[in-house]
Amino acid sequence: MPPVKRVLIIDDETSIRESLDMYLSEKGLAVEAAGTGTEGLAAYHKYHPQVIILDIRLPDISGLDILKRIMETDHDAKVIMITAYHDMETTIEAMRQGAYDYIHKPIDVDELDHAVTKSLHIADKVHAIPHLQDDQESGVRHQIVGKTPAMRALFKTIGLVSRNRATILVEGETGTGKELIARVIHESSLVSDQPYVTVDCTTLVDNLFESELFGYERGAFTGAVETKKGRLELAGEGTILFDEVGDLPLPLQAKLLRFLEYSEFTRVGGTKAILSQARIIAATNRDLCDLATQGRFRQDLLFRLRVITISVPPLRSRLDDLPELVRFFLHKINRDLGAKVTQVEDKAYAVLRNHSWPGNVRELKNVLIKSVVESRGSVLLADALKTVLAASPRDLPPITGLASLDDLEKTHILKAMVETKGNLSAAARLLRISRPTLRKRLKLYGLHQPDPRNP
């Protein structure tokens, strides 16, 4: 027969103590009650209750002070604060100090019952579930986690490419860790002491590309008051990552290709050719072959980039890595957020396996952070994961028979042009883009260019 679960009530109102004692006893719980803070602390140390129902305002000691002392004794203690006062500061302070819940008087029996039941459930798990082993490698700057065959093959590939300086294309869905892989390749190489530089291709614009990438000489243009090194020069003999290279506009693709062909560049406004010895890595979440077929990515640039191709598997295809990933992220969450989650409910892994993870490892990390906050204790609960996942955006259905994003953008631009009667400036304002960008889009989609006399 399982031991009777114990609840301690600390409240100076006799009627509250008696009514809660009667209600909880009828549920089969062993109840102790105290009318002052001093009596409550003594009862806590004597009876070791799994749940404490604690009033904020007591005649001798503040409920917050008692909460602090209890949490110092046992950070897993489940303390449900009750109060007749509705002030923001006290609620925030109680939850910050580790209270499991905060319930206002007059007490809603259903709300209290839910809090007590869930607290007792967590208390059971604390003793029944083994603690996670802290096997994090100290000294490792960046770490890729996984033991499935696909990940073991990935590690071998990283080891091989770390020996040379061949150009690499890293392909994978959003959130799979492409940038992390690029960093690990750099840190595993013979030039790990050299710089690692990232270029976000989604933010590059035509008129700034060369100065950003190649640098510029003093006086090269208005505002160039001193010579500035570009990203390639800053990378030295290290590594430069072109992140989301599939989003690079066609004119900029041509400039990148010219650099890759000769491995040299000239600063804007300069005449001296500078040889680059940086290792080039490109990353993309798009199908570059498909883009090349559509004429939106240069075939010759694709050949230059994929000297070696690394394909990163999505999380849904390596679900056996979930336990190790969860352990890894919980360690980081505990360290970075000051949390103390050291156990995972068995059912939690079933919840994780049943999710399709469209956002991959990045989504898993975010879900775990939110679930740690929702769990409110040392055990990561399956219910907390369900709550967080239910509040997340639903998985998108397969895109079949729907218009492509390009078609949608083309239609949207066309509507704006019709709405503004072909006025380029007005259409750009309506679309919230610049006029040069709108002109590029019109040209890309073969739409009618406005009459130059109508700006």
Mean pLDDT for the chain overall: 85
In a domain, 321, yes or no: yes
CB 337 within 8 A of CB 369: yes
Residue where one domain finishes, among candidates 98, 128, 158: 128
Residue where one domain finishes, among candidates 281, 311, 341: 311
List own/partner pairs for 360-363 with CB under 8 A and 24 or more apart: 360/173, 360/174, 360/175, 360/176, 360/177, 360/314, 360/315, 360/316, 361/175, 361/176, 361/177, 361/315, 361/325, 362/174, 362/175, 362/177, 363/175, 363/315, 363/392
In this structure, the answer to whether residues 304 and 336 fall within a common structural domain is: no
In this structure, the answer to whether residues 159 and 192 fall within a common structural domain is: yes
Structural domain of 22: 6-128
What's the average model confidence in pLDDT over 382-408?
A: 66
In this structure, the answer to whether residues 166 and 185 fall within a common structural domain is: yes
Q: pLDDT-derived band of residue 441, with 50, 70 and 90 as boundaries?
A: confident
Instruction: Look up residue 45 and give its two tokens.
Output: 């140390």
| pLDDT at 395 (0 to 100) | 46
Q: Dump pLDDT digits (tens) for 189-243.
A: 888 999 999 998 888 776 677 888 888 888 877 777 788 888 888 999 999 999 9
Residues 250, 381: Cα–Cα separation, whole Å: 49
E strands in 131-248: 168-171, 196-200, 215-216, 228-229, 239-243
In this structure, the answer to whether residues 123 and 11 fall within a common structural domain is: yes
Q: pLDDT-derived band of residue 393, with 50, 70 and 90 as boundaries?
A: low
Residue type, 312: V
Percent of the chain with pLDDT over 70: 89
In this structure, the answer to whether residues 414 and 361 fall within a common structural domain is: no
Q: Which pTM was predicted?
A: 0.73
CB 239 within 8 A of CB 184: no
pLDDT at 378 over 90: no
In this structure, the answer to whether residues 72 and 157 fall within a common structural domain is: no
In this structure, the answer to whether residues 303 and 320 fall within a common structural domain is: no
In a domain, 455, yes or no: no
Residue 247 has what DSSP assignment?
G
In a domain, 138, yes or no: no
Q: pLDDT-derived band of residue 445, with 50, 70 and 90 as boundaries?
A: low
Domain holding 417: CATH number? 1.10.10
Residues 181, 187: Cα–Cα separation, whole Å: 10
Cis status, amide bond into 455, omega within 30 of 0 = no
Residues contacting 271, CB < 8 A, separation 6+: none
Residues 76, 298: Cα–Cα separation, whole Å: 58
Quote the number of domains for the chain.
4
